[in-house]
Structures are given as C-alpha cells and as structure tokens.
Structure 1
C-alpha cells in the first residue's frame, strides 16, 4: 500500500515492438488507469474489512475509548466504555459536538452526563488547557459500534472510500473558503506519515487512507504521474495527432524533477513543523 514503481517494456520509445509506447492510445489509457484503479479497489477492500472487524459506528453514541491517568476525566470517575450523553444539559450526538462543547468551557466547571451500562450519572469536571499528548479532559473520543455482516460491510466500505475521495478532492476548495485550516490540509512526507501512524488506533485504516490517496494522487494531471501521461494521450485520441515522444519525455523529465523538489520540501517541513493530531 506504500506504492511501487513499474517500468513497462518500451514505455517511452514507440519504436520498441510490443512495447507500451507502441500500443494504440486506448490500450495505453487502460494501462495508465489500471494502477490507480487498483489502489482504489484495494482501499475499498480494506475499508470493508475495517467495518466487518470493528462494526458500524453508531453516530449518536459518543464513546470514551481511553482515559489518561490523573486527567480531569480520570479524577471525576469517567471510565473506558462510558457513553457521553450531555454537556451542561445539552445533548451531544457526535464527537465533533462533544469536542466543541468541552473546549468552549476551558477553565470552567462543566457537568457531564454519561451512561455506564443501564445507569446514567452526572459528574462535574473542569476542562484544562490541553497538555502535550492529551486533550482538555484527558479522554479519547470515538463512537460505539454494532457488528455487521460481510454483505453489509462491502457497501459500507464502498461508501466510506467514496466519501474519503470526495473529501480529498474538495480539500482545496474548503481551504480556500476557510472551512479547513491549512495545517489540517497540509501534505506530509515519510516522517509525517510515521508520526500519524504512531498516533492512530487502526493501522488498517492508515493503510486504507494511504492506498486511496496514492490512487487519487497518481491521477492528478502532473507530468511523470499516470494522470499527466493520460493528459498527453488525449490529443492523440481527440485529434489523431500524437505529441512527439522526445517532447513528451522532456515534459515528464521536468515534471519528475519538480516532484522530487516538492517531495524534498514536504519532508523538510515534517521536521521543521511536525504533524500534531488534534486531541
């Protein structure tokens, strides 16, 4: 899932008999789409496995997944497995709602209504300025889940992959409109990916995201990537004129050099400005 390089016979030279560059444009188009399509297919399979193994989230049941030792939540008596129902008598039906309600009360005593088994209880705690590696009250939030079958997991895996693709493609627009901060939408390199991997709870989810991201990235119309090669095939299909191979090779060479510089910049940023996941 971390990517791989494949060099086809006659990839850049149409004079090589039986090579990729000598094939008709539709064959080359199919070959170039095959790699990203497989990335997306594998991402769907990994997503379906996740749903089957972990169950379907119950989005109106906010679950306490971890409690930090000596945190406000720990001292107030919250435990792993508790369901958060209300904050200051206001219902919370999502992780986002709970997060917003907690951080709106930093430094102020706050009532938390939670359910443990069949018993509903109320505690009071004071959200703090979050210390490193912990949140304001010291819990990891998540959703309760219910088991589902393989037949139910597959369509949910497809939908989850679709929603992720849609989120990635709409990211530039959301950043431009101010809905998402630049830090949340930043590109990360190898160190950044490792930092994220250390923080997440599901390695399978991590590999699903990487795999789908590779599929999307390879389809971008950038020279040297599959998407860039696809763009250069289109004139041959639409107007029956092929870009001379020597010019095409120069375009890909320049694109590859720019990608290397971008990769270097992104990896340097991972050290200068390390990835910090929200708590």
Structure 2
C-alpha cells in the first residue's frame, strides 16, 4: 500500500510539475509577473518567497497552479492580460506543450536506466480457422522470429508490433518446426472474432531468459522519440477500435490509476518512468 501511494504521488507530481513549469518559464521569459507557483491545491502547507514569487507546497496533491498578475486585467503592471495575443497564447498553452514533451524525456531516461527484460522464442500453439494466420500457412509449432524486420523477442513485442499495424500488411518471418524459415505477408484485423486476436494465433514463450538492458544516451534519445511516436499511434488505434466497436471502453478513476501505478512500480524504475510518460 505504501509503495502504491508514494509511487502514485511521485508520478502525479512529476506530471503536474512539468505542466506548471511550462506556464512558469514562459511567463517569466515574457516578463509576466508570477505571484505564486504552487504544487498541490490549498490549504497551503508552507511557502518560500524568492524575489516576487511565492513557491508553495499545498495540502491537496492532485493539481498545481501558476498564479500570474492580472490574468484578466490589462491595467495591472506586467499582467498577463496586458501582453499581446501571441504571448498570452504561448503562456497558456505552454503547460500542454510541456506535457507533450515530457514523455520524450521520460522514455529516454527509461531506456538509459538498467532494467530486466524477459526474452525467448514466441511459439505458435494454436491457429484459428480462417484467420489471417491460417490463410498464410502459419501452423502450430512455428516460431515467430520478426515482424517488419523487428525482432520478436517476447509476447509483448508481438502484441505491440501487431497493434501498431492494424489493417496494414506486414512482413512476418517465421521458423517452421523443421528449422526452415519463411517470410509471409499478413494483415492484422481491426475487428477479429472474440478470443482470436488480430492475427488469429495463440502463442507461448519458450527458452525464456532474463537479460539486463540499458542504452547510452545517444541511443536512448532516438529510441525515446520512436517510443513517443509509437505511443501516439497506439492511442489513435485504440480510439478507432472504440469507434468501430472492436473494443469496449474501460474507465479507471484516480484509485484505479493509483493501483496500476503501484503494480508498475513493483516492476522497477524503468517501467514506472514509461508508465508516467504514458499518463502524461
């Protein structure tokens, strides 16, 4: 329970802090007077004044604020309302922009932090009749080696690459039980029959091993960018799946998100960073 509460508050604080820093930095850069920069909502626990700004920590942790002078009164000196339309738009939208950029940072750090990855061979156990897999000749006992030249090292890889390419033809390299390899073209379905999945295969992992991975920053940053792009694609595909009725909507409130955060935190810092990036 303690891990769940602490990890949830830390994740929320990072996301809120990034958002409010966007407003704060652009306001300061535009010479708008910032009266208070607060993490959490009042009542105030304590505050420190530096220059013209009060930096406060408040009792209600779900939120934050950047209080600027004269947000609606242009007569106040150095007020937000006294600035031009472009400056006001920049300051007000900077929080959302920071939340869009935060995942890039978090994903990159997640790749740099040493973390455990379970790898092995993804083996086909069953093939659904008349499914895309059946139509291209995939059979039980085949091993899925790569998808669009990306190695399939675990079931998570297969699921991710599949859902990134719903409705599009992909190249799937398979190894048959007699050790021969074959590359087939397959189109994962948007709306498969219940229990079949996009390709129509039931898989398991064999020869599992756990390896320790981390990347230097010059590789982690490009991978972080790629992860951000793929996350947006997954969001888009999830929304389209809801529209066409392929999946049902499951809504999690703050308690549900906190529980998920606690479960992810138990897996390590790297997965927690990825989860925070996803929430952002």
Structure 2 length-normalised TM: 0.45
The structure in which a higher percent of residues are strand is: 2
The structure in which a higher percent of residues are helix is: 1
